Every structure is written in structure tokens, then in C-alpha cells.
Structure 1
């Protein structure tokens, strides 16, 4: 498959795709997302890459930062809200390399995987959630 590329989607366009994914999640998940932040950056910062032991910034498409629903308690009162960070350039590279799926599908996959960490879901459960939000 040959793709003709125009301008690369902006951070705002990636965020819009991600927010559309969140809106399609089943209500039982949306109700528990609370004040979760969604941020789109070109790459992860060096500190995060070092913390995760990742050398190539193109190897990280997203990350969940926060306290999972399974361990959340009153002790977290007053802490920073949970957030999902998406990394635009690694997502765009993966999309270009795959060539067999839409950008919307790939962004949804990354968002759901990271939201899955918020809920403490297994990979199998994340795949099921992806089907529900499809």
C-alpha cells in the first residue's frame, strides 16, 4: 500500500482522536476516569525514558502516570491528577511503518492500552475494551 502524505497530524489533531476514543469507552469506564489528564507531546522527556530504561525515544508511544483505580484510596487526596501522555512522533512513525491501519485505530489502541493501566487491566482485558470502544 502506498501512502501519500501531506502535513503530519498536529498534537491537537492527535489529542482530538484520543478524546474521541475516551468518549467511546463504555460508561462503566468513563465514570471512573475522573480528572485524568490527556497530553500529547512530540517525544517523552529524557527523565521518563531513563526511568523506563528506554534508549530510543521512538520506542515509546504513550505512558500512564498516576495511581491505578485498584490501589486508589484517601491517601491520594491532594496529589496530582492521573495523566496519559501520548507521544506524537513515535505514534506517527509506527503508523507509517505499519501501513495497514488508520491513524484513528492506532491512537485508540495506545490510549486504551494506557487507560488499561489506570484500571489495572490485563492485556486480554485491554483488547476486549478496544473492541467495545471500536
Structure 2
């Protein structure tokens, strides 16, 4: 599947807006970013949380950079056949990375059926 960067970013925004309020209302100082690929150039990683989970921090101080949730456009496009499947995968990836923000690790995500 192919989609230009602008179209992909609009799709990500739509999926982010569709998430339940109780999932996103607690997000503080988090930037959502779209990049083409991970630094290693692979297509294996769909997204990642770059920050400190709220369960592992005291508070933000002055001048701290925001945490980042990154979605990798080319990785997500490579695994999808159509826009409906892409929307599903973007949704799953957003939920997965937001869960990491809340301190939920991969093992717990699997137990909950989210990964």
C-alpha cells in the first residue's frame, strides 16, 4: 500500500481523535510524531514510546523535552493491503505506545490482549 506523508499524518490524527477520552486525557507533555522509518532503516518496528512512563517519574521539571510517541509510516504501510487495515494497525500501534506511557509493559499488553 502507498500513501503520501500528508495523507498518513491526517489518518494518524483521525485515529488519535477516535481514541477514548479516558485513554488520552491523562497524557501530559507527549508529542505524537510520524517518521518514515526507525533509525536502523528496518521495517520491523511500527512505533515506539520515547520517554519515561508515568509510573517511573516524579514530575516534569522546567525545560524538559516532551515524551514522544513515534509511528513509522513506511513500516505500517508495508504491512497493510488497504486503508481499513492501515487504520486498524495505526489504532493498535497508538494504543500500544500510549500504554507504555502509562507504564504497561509488553508482557502485560499481551496478557490484556492488546499486543
TM-score tier, shorter chain, comes to: 0.7 to 0.9
Q: What is the TM-score with the length of structure 1 in the denominator?
A: 0.69
Q: Distance in 1 between matches of 2:34 and 2:66?
A: 16
Write the deviation string for residues 22-62 of structure 1: whole angstroms up to 9, x where unpaired.
2222222211112311111111113xxxxxxxxx6111111
**The structure with more helix, counted as a fraction of residues:** 1
Structure 2 spans left out of the alignment, 5+ residues: none
Q: In structure 2, do the counterparts of structure 1 residues 70 and 103 end up closer, same or farther at CA, with 3 Å as the change threshold?
A: same
1:39 aligns with 2:33: yes
Whether the aligned pair in 2 keeps the contact of 1:43 and 1:90 (CA below 8 Å) is yes
Give runs of ≥4 in structure 1 deviating > 3 Å. none
Q: In structure 2, do the counterparts of structure 1 residues 13 and 125 end up closer, same or farther at CA, with 3 Å as the change threshold?
A: farther
Q: Distance in 2 between matches of 1:116 and 1:42?
A: 22
Q: What is the TM-score with the length of structure 2 in the denominator?
A: 0.79
Q: Highest Rg: 1 or 2?
A: 1
Structure 1 spans left out of the alignment, 5+ residues: 47-55
**Alignment size in residue pairs:** 109
Q: CA RMSD in A?
A: 2.3
Aligned to 1:79: 64
